[in-house]
Amino acid sequence: MPATPIQRLACALKAVTDGGDAHKLVDLARRYGVPGIAARRAARDIPVNADAYLKLCRAAGIDPVTGGRDVIDTPLPDLCRMRLAIKIFMVVIGGQSLRTLSKKWGVEYTAINRAKHQQPVNVENFLRICAGLGDHPHLFLRRTPLFHGEQSLQQPERASA
């Protein structure tokens, strides 16, 4: 049976924190703006919300979808729930109901409804919604190269005169 996203994250967190050392795990979480409890939960294969999951994937250096090495190296973004809500709203405007999407994507109706109303969803539902929309989770992060035309977010260094 293939590993779930949270299981892949747990393995990656353990790898970068010397087997899940509690102090190193909490320090890592703080650096990435994640509550220590969320990092400890994720390291024990316990699902966390999508915001924490995406930040912890960045902290562990893995892609949130595949679990492979993450190639995006930008400042740490936050999940933009509004962008996700707008994408869902556009699909609904296109003539599909939330119940239809729920069945089609394999996500509970309440999870899609929560995302549509910009409320937190768990990582499994978030990834299924992204897959259903046909978008990579990075699209729903604030200030990512995928959303802003592959431009670097760092200011170019000025040449000294």
pTM of this structure = 0.69
144 pLDDT more than 60: no
Cβ neighbours, 10 Å, residue 84: 23
Domain boundaries, the chain: 5-60, 81-140
**Average pLDDT of the residues in 121-132:** 89
Q: Give the largest Cα separation in the chain, rounded.
A: 62
**Average pLDDT of the residues in 58-69:** 83
**Average pLDDT of the residues in 69-93:** 75
Q: Angle at Cα 37 formed by Cα 34 and Cα 40, nearest 5°? A: 100
Tell me which fold the domain 81-140 belongs to: 434 Repressor (Amino-terminal Domain) (1.10.260)
Q: What is the pLDDT of residues 20-59, one digit of tens each?
A: 888 999 999 998 889 999 999 999 999 898 888 988 988 8
Question: In terms of DSSP H, where are the helices of the chain?
Answer: 5-16, 22-31, 36-43, 50-60, 81-93, 98-105, 109-116, 123-133
Q: What is the mean pLDDT of the chain?
A: 80
